[in-house]
A = this chain, B = another copy of it.
């Protein structure tokens, strides 16, 4: 058997999380079950239960893992540029078939969807990625040390989602810059 970084446990985690993303992209979140994921990933159902406990927890973990590589904090030398980059990363994520399917999964499509509980945590952790952006901006004197970044992030993320998911319109650099400038105008 081939050795993988992190060993067998990490390999199981990888297979399971990949299977979750694939299942949500193919069939939506309503169809997600631990038994189905275990079968797709080729691992024992009890392994998945022991590690994740519920389909909801499994979905949250898979979404955090999937989005982690795709939405990162840039360091481009200015708060505005870093935030525009963040908005464009979210737009890129939502423009992919998988990203769009995951966003729909977050909203939930029916009473049975194993979704909502993890949503706030998902965004809390996505927003935490940007903390470093605001810390660096404060060091450069671009951002008040004691200001709350939450409203700024909420405006940027909300507008990007609204345009792509509700208006069905693309978000390019112009739209990203407008969201960022409007969001920053409220604070700086």
Contacts and interface: CB of A to CB of B under 8 A. Distances in A.
A166 B182 CA distance: 21
Interface string A165-188: 111110000000010011101100
Interface in A116-172: 116, 119-120, 123, 151, 154-155, 157-159, 161-163, 165-169
Question: Copy number of this protein in the oligomer?
Answer: 2
Interface stretch (A42-50, A66-74, A77-85, A104-112): A104-112
A92 interface: no
A167 B134 CA distance: 22
B166 A123 contact: yes
Task: Bin the interface of chain A by size.
Answer: 20 to 34
A151 B179 CA distance: 8
Interface of A: 28, 103-104, 106-110, 116, 119-120, 123, 151, 154-155, 157-159, 161-163, 165-169, 178, 181-183, 185-186
16 contacts: A103-B166, A104-B108, A106-B166, A107-B165, A116-B168, A119-B168, A120-B168, A123-B167, A154-B163, A155-B183, A157-B162, A158-B158, A158-B161, A158-B163, A181-B186, A182-B186
